[in-house]
Amino acid sequence: MLNFSKINVLIIYFLFVFIAIFSFLNFQNANDQLIKKKINLGLDLQGGSYLLLEINSDSLVKEKIQSKVIPIKKLLKDNNINYNNFKINENNLSLSIDNIEKFDLLFNSRKDNLVNPYIDNFRSYELEYKKIDNNQIQISFSKFGLLTINNAALKQSIEIVRRRIDDVGTKEPTILQRGEKRILVELPGLKDPERIKALLGKTAQLNFRLVSDNNEFGVDELISENGEKLNISKRIIMSGENLIDAQPSIQNQNNEPTVSFTLDRLGAQKFGRATTDNVGKRLAIVLDGEIVSAPNINEPITSGNGMISGNFTFQEATDLALLLRSGALPTPLIVVEERTVGPDLGEDSIKSGVISLIVGFILVIFFMLFKYKIFGLIANTALIANLLMLVGVLTILEATLTLPGIAGIILTVGMAVDANVLIFERIREELKTEKSIIHAFDSGYSRAKITVLDANITTLIAAIILFAFGSGPVKGFAITLGIGIITTLFTAYFLARHLTSLVVLNTRNKEIKI
């Protein structure tokens, strides 16, 4: 156990130096770094905002149930099932049919048993029905169908939230799914949480609709940006799905901030046709049910480029362009929980954590020197190397350090000392019975190995479980603890053991006290 080949020594110290170098990157100016890696501070250490968002899928369920109307009617017609009183409700369809038994067979049968290609859409996996009266039924989404809608909406919402936050330029955001309907957003260092809330709270459903001159059927009465009541046609000429890009700009004539947009090929065709057919009319640009602007169509717009104006400030124009670029949310997002951590509180947390680490570190160093003399110095050297390697690995991973993460580092100090104490105490026992000092140290390391491994591996398993099932700060604690255990084993059984072998082999003819 005390014999090291030259290649082993080279590997041990190369690995230590290579990892330890990364720890010093955290103390350099970011502009001077050749390697752009550092440990990121979590929300509780540098301040910022914590938002818990929840999707509201009611409008999406209504939209999806409406999309089933035509296929269901076609299914009934193709199978000669007569129906009447077909009604579209908020989250279900109701109708009367003349042959419930036949409908039941069609509704619940598998596609491979029937020729009809529409059957697969109406199996009870997605939809279910119940009898209301003798001939009346009600069709709605099953639990599986609702779960599928929620999951799809949640995944799409997370992606769009990520795009919006990345466009703002927030560094190291954390965006995670929480349960079936919630999204966790942590934004360290955020200085303007209200702006982010406003951006995330808008679905950004954009559409272009013509302004009607009279109060005819099929119009919505909306209020424009200047307070004017307008009758807007329900027919959507083009939606925001056809936008490729949107950027804030300044109109040269009166320096008014506007939003310039570019359409895809299909959108350009739709927009060109609509503006060609309706020259002289007004075109309303509607965002989330509100009129942003309603300019006159002076000439056909066939280039696929357009401009939105509406008495914006430049910040409002920038945010609107961001919303349009990132795409529309499938459902509204509701802020169900909000927390803001000030930078001063985060700075206090860092100071408290660092003071705790320094105090604990100094006490451990003095204890080991007092207890084990020269070997205590070796243990302390290994302890410093352990911390450097731990910070180095966290830097390589660009991990986010939280207050519980600092607690994990402090615990690592205790774990590292525990390994050396077990080893040295075992060597003391061996020295009582062994005449050969070298053999006593060799046996001490060999026999203490199982105990040290058992203690650290069980703790490592606990850290893995915490990481797998925990969230947020718990994961941070688990990561630092897990990495700390691995670096502890490396420094105790390679670095400290090599330094111990140098001392023992150079003083083998003298009395050694431990």
Q: What is the pLDDT of residues 412-432, one digit of tens each?
A: 888 888 888 888 888 888 888
Based on the domain organization, do 21 and 71 belong to the same domain?
Answer: no
In a domain, 273, yes or no: yes
Evaluated on CA atoms 24, 377, 409, 427, the torsion sign reads positive
Amino acid at 8: N
Based on the domain organization, do 267 and 415 belong to the same domain?
Answer: no
Tell the burial category of 435 from Cβ atoms under 10 Å away from its Cβ (0-12, 13-18, 19+).
Answer: exposed
Pairing of strands 256-263, 283-287: unpaired
Helix (H, G, I), strand (E, B) or coil at 328: coil
Work out the mean pLDDT of the chain and round it to a whole number: 83
Look up the domain containing 245 and give its range: 206-316
In a domain, 77, yes or no: yes
Residue 354 Cα distances to 37, 361, 363, angstroms: 21, 10, 14
Tokens read off for 289: 């049910």
Based on the domain organization, do 213 and 80 belong to the same domain?
Answer: no
Based on the domain organization, do 291 and 359 belong to the same domain?
Answer: no
User: Can you give the pLDDT of all 514 residues of the chain as single tens digits?
Assistant: 667 888 989 999 999 999 999 988 887 776 666 777 888 877 777 778 888 999 988 888 888 888 888 888 888 888 888 888 888 888 889 999 888 888 888 776 644 433 344 444 444 468 888 888 778 899 888 888 888 888 888 998 998 998 888 887 776 688 888 888 899 888 887 767 788 888 888 888 888 888 887 666 677 788 776 777 888 888 888 888 888 888 888 875 677 888 888 988 888 998 899 999 989 888 888 888 888 888 888 888 888 888 887 778 888 888 888 888 888 888 888 888 888 777 666 677 778 878 888 888 888 889 888 888 888 899 899 999 999 999 999 999 888 888 888 888 888 888 888 888 888 888 888 888 877 788 888 888 888 888 888 888 999 999 999 888 876 678 888 989 999 999 999 998 899 888 988 888 877 666 676 7
Q: What is the pLDDT of residue 15?
A: 93
In a domain, 157, yes or no: no
Among 281, 316, 351, where does a domain finish? 316
In whole angstroms, what is the distance from residue 83 CA to residue 423 CA? 84
Beta bridge partners of 256: 251
Q: What is the pLDDT of residue 187?
A: 83
Among 97, 125, 146, where does a domain finish? 146
In a domain, 398, yes or no: yes
DSSP state of 24: G
- Edge-to-edge strand order for the sheet containing 256-263? 243-251, 256-263, 305-308
In a domain, 140, yes or no: yes
Based on the domain organization, do 243 and 365 belong to the same domain?
Answer: no
CB 21 within 8 A of CB 13: no
Contacting residues for 42 by C-beta, under 8 A, at least 6 apart:
186, 188, 400, 401, 402, 403, 405, 473, 476
Instruction: Quote the number of domains for the chain.
Output: 3
Question: Residues of the chain with pLDDT > 70: what percent?
Answer: 90
CB count, 10 Å around CB of 308?
Answer: 22
Based on the domain organization, do 306 and 413 belong to the same domain?
Answer: no
Rounded to two decimals, the pTM is 0.66
Tokens read off for 457: 């591996």
Among 301, 316, 331, where does a domain finish? 316
Based on the domain organization, do 485 and 358 belong to the same domain?
Answer: yes
Structure confidence by residue, pLDDT tens digits, 97-154: 888 888 888 776 644 433 344 444 444 468 888 888 778 899 888 888 888 888 888 9
DSSP state of 472: T
How many residues can be counted in the chain?
A: 514
Tokens read off for 225: 């940006």
Based on the domain organization, do 492 and 351 belong to the same domain?
Answer: yes
